[in-house]
């Protein structure tokens, strides 16, 4: 079964929402944590950028291994994550755009058989590549919602 039109459309455009959400807020404000125990808007963006190569690696393993199995992804345990936190916002967004093109090309280049290959998620069980793509997008949407909330809090606290 090919990728749905919904998945294809969201893959192409959903990540673009970040720029719309953050608008003209300066990076130093996006880096501020509203709650010291929770990520800032910037940290959420860095996480989304950092996860693109992880997702691509998972897709590759699903195609190469007969029983690909994955641990739960934890950004703080990813040795690459601190490097993403060090980057400037514009570079993060540009990197995400570039990685997204690779994700799209990878998924759209797969045959129906390749899209039906499976990988084991520790919480959600055996997922086809199409289901992994859906999971990727829903995970991203969750962080977009979080970024929206955090940006609204920042705007509400700006001096008039």
Q: Which band of pLDDT confidence, cut at 50, 70 and 90, is reported for residue 160?
A: low
pLDDT per position as a tens digit, 96-150: 999 999 999 999 999 999 999 999 999 999 999 999 999 999 999 999 999 999 9
CA distance 152 to 158: 10
The residue to which tokens 């514009």 are assigned? 90
Sheet holding 68-69, edge to edge: 68-69, 118-121, 125-128
Taking domain 5-156, whether its CATH number is 1.20.120.450 is answered by yes
Question: Average pLDDT for residues 6-11, to the nearest whole number?
Answer: 98
pLDDT per position as a tens digit, 48-102: 999 999 999 999 999 999 989 999 999 999 999 999 999 999 999 999 999 999 9
pTM for this one? 0.95
């Amino acid at each position: 079964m090919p990728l749905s039109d919904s998945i294809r459309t969201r893959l192409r455009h959903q990540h673009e929402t970040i720029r719309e959400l953050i608008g003209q807020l300066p990076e130093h404000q996006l880096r501020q944590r509203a709650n010291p125990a929770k990520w800032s808007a910037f940290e959420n963006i860095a996480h989304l950028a950092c996860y693109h190569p992880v997702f691509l690696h998972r897709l590759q393993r699903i195609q190469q291994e007969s029983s690909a199995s994955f641990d739960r992804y934890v950004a703080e345990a990813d040795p690459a994550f601190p490097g993403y936190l060090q980057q400037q916002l514009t570079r993060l967004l540009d990197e995400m755009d570039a990685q997204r093109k690779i994700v799209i090309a990878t998924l759209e280049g797969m045959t129906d058989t390749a899209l039906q290959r499976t990988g084991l998620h520790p919480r959600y069980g055996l997922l086809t590549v199409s289901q992994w793509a859906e999971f990727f997008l829903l995970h991203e949407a969750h962080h977009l919602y979080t970024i929206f909330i955090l940006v609204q809090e920042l705007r509400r606290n700006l001096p008039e």
